[in-house]
Amino acid sequence: MAKRTMVTGCGGFLGSHLVDELLQSGREVIGIDNFSSGQKENISEYTDHNNFKLLNRNVRLPDSLPTVDEIYHLASQASPADFTEYPVEIALVNTQGTRNMLDHALACDAKMVFASTSEVYGDPEVHPQTESYNGNVNIRGVRGCYDESKRFGETLTEAYYRKHNVDVRTVRIFNTYGPKMRPDDGRVVPTFIDQALSGNDLTVYGDGSQTRSFCYVDDLIHGLTQVMEQSELDHRVYNLGNENEITIKTLAKKILDIVNTNSSIVYKPLPEDDPERRKPNITRIQKELGWEPNISLENGLKTTIDSYK
């Protein structure tokens, strides 16, 4: 019998790519989204699929859910642009929502993968970041609603493992990009691509010397499913991302080159608590699961830009 898999946040950028991968692997997929940041268009091609069922629900609210074998808990607004507008919703989806999903995993005896984030490392004093680094988060800052709630979400996963033996694994997802990110999402890759394609100048925050390490979505999704599929992994945490670190200014120049436009770069103030450097150390997942990303930034950006045209 086909495995039944639940994906919370199925209308989001990562969720919709994951649904695609799971349906292709023959799974029956139950997608949950309240479309607070996810988009119906992202999953419109699956709504008539025999193995896909969509539930329009808020995972924060207790509700009866269908029995499943696996749960990917991805639901949360995740763009820094949303942190000022939806701080309460974000703080609660990652805490109350995570608790509800852990309760459901316990009730169904399902395996669960919790999507945590590189943001748990805050503005890191350790570089690159290994899973054992405890982070440097400003809990009262504007990003705290996301960073600290994901941290507490991780605490809950450990508590449910210790107390109830729930088989929950955690991934700390670093910056990811690819088709299906909303052009107005606020995050840097879709923003720069949208600006370049519309002939507007690219808005680099600060002096653009801050770094990030960008992973193409297909690589990321393979990492997620590998973490779920391994047996005997319960309550492990893995960094998931690409180690290729780049400054935001260089990223802007790369996108300008690929799009071949007359747009230039304009500089805007750096947002509060914007991390200066971010790069995952992925040794743990490479050694234990043999996963590593293999799509170059150049190729990933080209595919993403084509999808936006």
What is the set of active-site residues? Answer: 146
Q: Cα(14)–Cα(8) distance, rounded to whole angstroms?
A: 10
Q: How many residues sit in the footprint of ligand UDP (CB under 6 A)?
A: 14
Binding residues among 258-297 for ligand UDP as defined by CB under 6 A: 270-271, 274
Which of residues 175, 213, 263, 304 is near ligand UDP by CB under 6 A?
A: 175
C-beta of 230 vs 247, nearer to ligand UDP:
247
Residue selected from 104, 169, 187, 277 as contacting ligand UDP according to rule CB under 6 A = 187
For 248, the token pair is: 């935001």
Q: Which of 25, 2, 21 is nearest to 10 (CA)?
A: 21
Q: Which of 29, 188, 237, 301 binds ligand UDP (CB under 6 A)?
A: 188
How near is the Cβ of 80 to ligand UDP at its closest, in Å? 4
Candidate ranges 55-63, 124-132, 134-142, 203-211; the one touching ligand UDP (CB under 6 A): 203-211
Helix (H, G, I), strand (E, B) or coil at 71: strand
Is residue 212 involved in binding ligand UDP (CB under 6 A)? yes
Q: Is 203 in the site for ligand UDP (CB under 6 A)?
A: yes
Comparison of 10 and 248: residue with beta carbon closer to ligand UDP: 248
Written as six digits, the tokens of 79 are 């763009």
Burial of 61 per CB tally in 10 Å (0-12, 13-18, 19+): exposed
Q: How far apart are CA 294 and CA 220, in angstroms?
A: 10
Tell me, residue by residue from 27 to 66, as one string, x for binding to ligand UDP by CB under 6 A and - for no binding.
----------------------------------------
Under the binding rule (CB under 6 A), the answer on residue 4 touching ligand UDP is no
Closest contact distance (angstroms) between CB of 164 and ligand UDP is 32
Judged by CB under 6 A, the chain residues 61 through 100 that form the site for ligand UDP are 80
**Pick 87 or 271: Cβ nearer ligand UDP:** 271
CA angle 288, 292, 297 (to 5 degrees): 160
What are the structure tokens assigned to 30, written together?
């139950």
For ligand UDP, which is the closer residue by CB, 52 or 216?
Answer: 216
**DSSP state letters, 77-112:** ---HHHHTTSHHHHHHHTTHHHHHHHHHHHHHT-EE
Q: How far is CA 138 from CA 12, 123, 271, 287, 288, in A?
A: 26, 8, 14, 32, 32
Q: Which is nearer to ligand UDP, 80 or 280 (CB)?
A: 80
Scanning the structure block, which residue is given the tokens 């391994």? 230
**Cβ within 8 Å of residue 1, ≥6 positions away:** none
Q: Which is nearer to ligand UDP, 11 or 122 (CB)?
A: 122
Binding site for ligand UDP (CB under 6 A): 80, 175, 187-188, 191, 203-205, 210, 212, 248, 270-271, 274
